[in-house]
């Protein structure tokens, strides 16, 4: 379900002459280059294909994992708004200039409102009739016909052929000034080798085109895969797009990407396998070679109506926002930001901001992981979050600290602050208070001091600790030493093998021996404490 998309492109520091269509350097001291826009386009296509094949070789299709469900949902919904707005001028029969650059959707709407008084009533009537027929077929006739026959009614093809015939024999373009498709050239461009001298000039700018075209394609693929319950191979998509671009660059093709409108129409009419794409290509080839001029009288408003009706599924998925809002406010914020920037600014900027925001949230969550204190369920060996379960009880003198996530250089300070907050004791402040008292000549007996905390021991549950680096190990050592200075023991439990091996390697390298006391389970640590500490 992919198609070619025309991507506007210009070389930095170069101009295209409107009459000779040459690309020439306009900066003093630079070499003079003379290329046609088609040569630039084919060079970009070839460069994009090369990038995508290189990405396939290095298995960079894994980047699709950055496309979360909220991101894909909002991005495709925003793209659907783009497609809808772009069809308004044809639905109303308006003649407005095509906007380019950022904020073009807003400028398009401004132009539509400026020209609204010039609405072609005949085009509006044709659009309404087409939309009503398509909706009635999709909502009423199609469900009934699916029970009688497995082959869907080709209502879109019927609309196109009918619109062409009616426009031709009733002269809609001449009598009612309805815009038609216009000239459709026949034949295929002759094969031509791309201009390899241009590759180094377009190499940097082709990176953005590579990423945007791949992301749009994989986003559409994920939408249809979820809807139709099948899996996709993101790396294979890179190979397919790369080969298509490399091959297409020899036939004056633009970089390929998924077409939202055409993909939706193909899925709506029942396309499920590659056979549908092959048939579509054969029909398109037939039109290009022989029968293209037959569709020249087709009103543009008919095509716009078909596209608008096909967008229904894309707009329906916007209802998923309620689910994202209820489940996770971070996901909802990604949806809102991506959608608004896609609609207001541009598709590529919205996609980039959505990915950046997703990565930022992932980083934030890794820096501020989930922590809690565990309590004991009497007569069991279960230990659960005290803030979530009422049946748990706290063991006097013991705090069981649960840490979920990674412990590395980026979140060591957060780890310590959360530990101090939950156990209710900051050893540094206790030590500082004792030093101030000693400076005043007040001697403190560590055994009988009122300043001594009621806390006797801390057990850290490491069952959910997924990764630790050397900075994390050093932090654990410093925490142990700090609590030892105020006579509070610090033990570890439920340490996984990879974490234990990392701690052991760092410990042997930094300290020469393993100084951590680690228990297999929290229950083992509890039994040990009861025997060794409370019996003294």
For 138-154, give the DSSP string: IIIIHHHHHHH-SSPP-
Does position 28 have pLDDT exceeding 60, yes or no? Answer: no
> Which tokens sit at 342?
């896609």
Minimum mean pLDDT range among 15-19, 280-284, 457-461 = 15-19
Give residue 148's pLDDT band: very low, low, confident or very high (50, 70, 90).
confident
Residue 383: in which H helix or E strand, if any?
strand 383-385
Q: Which residues contact 177 (CB under 8 A, 6 or more apart)?
A: 93, 120, 122
Contact between 458 and 483 under an 8 Å Cβ cutoff? The reply is: yes
What is the C-alpha to C-alpha distance for residues 407 and 368, in angstroms, rounded to an integer? 10
- Of 151, 124, 377, 402, nearest to 271 by C-alpha is 151
Distance CA 445, CA 197 (A): 83
Helices 37-57 and 199-228, interaxial angle, to 10°? 60
Buried b (16+ CB within 10 A) or exposed e, 211-229: bbbbbbbbbbbbbbeeeee
Check if the beta carbon of residue 123 is closer than 8 Å to that of residue 92. Answer: yes
Q: What is the pLDDT of residue 43?
A: 93
Decide if pLDDT at 31 tops 80.
no
CB atoms within 10 A of CB 103: 12
φ/ψ (deg, to 5) at 515: -105, -5
Task: Point out which residues pair with 401 in neighbouring strands.
Answer: 373, 460
d(CA 481, CA 474): 11
Helix (H, G, I), strand (E, B) or coil at 23: strand
The span from the CA of 354 to the CA of 356, in Å, is: 6
Token digits of residue 23: 């690309």
State the pLDDT at residue 366: 83
What local confidence, expressed as pLDDT, does residue 116 receive? 93
Give the 3-state secondary structure of residue 150: coil
Greatest alpha-carbon span in the chain: 109
User: How far is Cα 214 from Cα 236, in angstroms, rounded to an integer?
Assistant: 11
| Structure confidence at residue 22 as a pLDDT band (50, 70, 90) | very low
Which range among 14-18, 36-40, 431-435 shows the weakest confidence by mean pLDDT?
A: 14-18
Any idea which residue has 């939309």 for tokens?
131
Q: What is the mean pLDDT of residues 275-281?
A: 83
Look at 281 and 23; give whichever has higher pLDDT: 281
* Predicted pLDDT of residue 54: 95
The per-residue pLDDT for 53 is 95
**Predicted model pTM:** 0.73
The dihedral over CA atoms of 476, 477, 478, 484, expressed in degrees to the nearest 10, equals: 110
Give the per-residue pLDDT at 10. 38
Res 11 pLDDT > 70: no
Across the range 306-316, mean pLDDT stands at 88
Q: Would you say 341 and 82 are in contact if contact means Cβ atoms under 8 Å apart?
A: no
**Closest among 353, 102, 14, 49 to 209, alpha carbons compared:** 49
Q: What tokens were used for 40?
A: 């630039």
The b-or-e profile of 328-365 (16+ CB within 10 A means b, else e) is eebbbebbbbbbebbbebbbbebbbbbbebbeebeeee
Which regions of 207-286 does DSSP assign to beta strands (E)?
Answer: 256-257
The per-residue pLDDT of the chain, averaged, comes to 84
On the CB side of 15, CA atoms within 13 Å amount to 7
pLDDT band at 12 (very low <50, low <70, confident <90, very high): very low
Burial of 186 (0-12, 13-18, 19+ CB in 10 A): exposed
In whole angstroms, what is the distance from residue 18 CA to residue 13 CA? 16
| Matching residue, tokens 């394609």 | 217
Q: Does position 355 have pLDDT exceeding 60, yes or no?
A: yes
State yes or no: pLDDT of 459 exceeds 90. Answer: yes
pLDDT band of residue 274 (cuts 50, 70, 90) is confident
């Amino acid at each position: 379900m992919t198609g070619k998309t025309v991507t506007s492109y210009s070389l930095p520091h170069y101009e295209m002459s409107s009459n000779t269509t040459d690309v020439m350097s306009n900066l003093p001291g630079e070499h003079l280059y003379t290329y046609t826009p088609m040569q630039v386009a084919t060079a970009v296509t070839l460069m994009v294909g090369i990038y995508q094949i290189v990405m396939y070789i290095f298995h960079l299709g894994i980047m699709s994992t950055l496309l979360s469900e909220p991101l894909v949902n909002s991005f495709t919904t925003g793209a659907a708004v783009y497609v809808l707005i772009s069809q308004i001028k044809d639905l109303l029969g308006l003649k407005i200039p095509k906007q380019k650059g950022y904020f073009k959707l807003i400028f398009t709407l401004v132009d539509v409102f400026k020209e609204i008084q010039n609405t072609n009533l005949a085009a509006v009537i044709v659009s309404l009739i087409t939309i009503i027929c398509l909706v009635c077929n999709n909502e009423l006739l199609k469900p009934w016909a699916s029970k009688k026959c497995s082959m869907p009614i080709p209502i879109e093809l019927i609309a196109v052929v009918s619109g062409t015939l009616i426009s031709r024999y009733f002269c809609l373009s001449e009598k009612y000034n309805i815009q038609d498709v216009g000239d459709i050239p026949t034949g295929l461009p002759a094969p031509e080798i791309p201009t390899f001298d241009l590759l180094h000039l377009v190499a940097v700018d082709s990176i953005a085109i590579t990423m945007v075209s791949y992301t749009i394609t994989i986003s559409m693929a994920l939408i249809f895969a979820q809807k139709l319950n099948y899996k996709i191979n993101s790396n294979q998509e890179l190979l397919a797009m790369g080969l298509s671009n490399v091959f297409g660059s020899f036939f004056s093709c633009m970089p390929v990407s998924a077409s939202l409108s055409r993909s939706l129409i193909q899925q709506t009419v029942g396309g499920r396998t590659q056979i549908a794409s092959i048939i579509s290509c054969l029909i398109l080839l037939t039109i290009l070679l022989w029968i293209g001029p037959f569709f020249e009288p087709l009103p543009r408003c008919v095509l716009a109506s078909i596209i608008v009706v096909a967008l229904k599924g894309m707009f329906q998925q916007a209802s998923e926002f309620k689910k994202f809002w209820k489940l996770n406010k971070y996901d909802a914020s990604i949806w809102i930001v991506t959608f608004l920037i896609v609609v207001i600014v541009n598709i590529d900027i919205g996609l980039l901001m959505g990915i950046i925001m997703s990565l930022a949230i992932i980083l934030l969550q890794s820096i501020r992981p989930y922590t809690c204190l565990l309590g004991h369920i009497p007569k069991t060996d279960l230990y659960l979050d005290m803030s979530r379960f009422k049946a748990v009880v706290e063991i006097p003198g013991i705090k069981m600290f649960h840490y979920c996530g990674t412990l590395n250089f980026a979140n060591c300070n957060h780890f310590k602050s959360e530990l101090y907050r939950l156990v209710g004791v900051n050893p540094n402040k206790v030590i500082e208070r004792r030093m101030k008292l000693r400076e005043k000549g007040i001697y403190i007996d560590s055994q009988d001091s009122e300043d001594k905390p009621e806390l006797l021991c801390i057990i850290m549950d490491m069952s959910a600790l997924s990764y630790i680096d050397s900075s994390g190990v050093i932090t654990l050592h410093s925490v142990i030493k700090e609590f030892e200075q105020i006579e509070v023991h610090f033990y570890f439990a439920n340490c996984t093998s990879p974490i234990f091996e990392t701690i052991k390697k760092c410990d042997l390298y930094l300290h020469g021996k393993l100084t951590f006391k680690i228990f297999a389970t929290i229950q083992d640590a509890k039994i040990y404490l009861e025997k060794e500490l409370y019996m003294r």
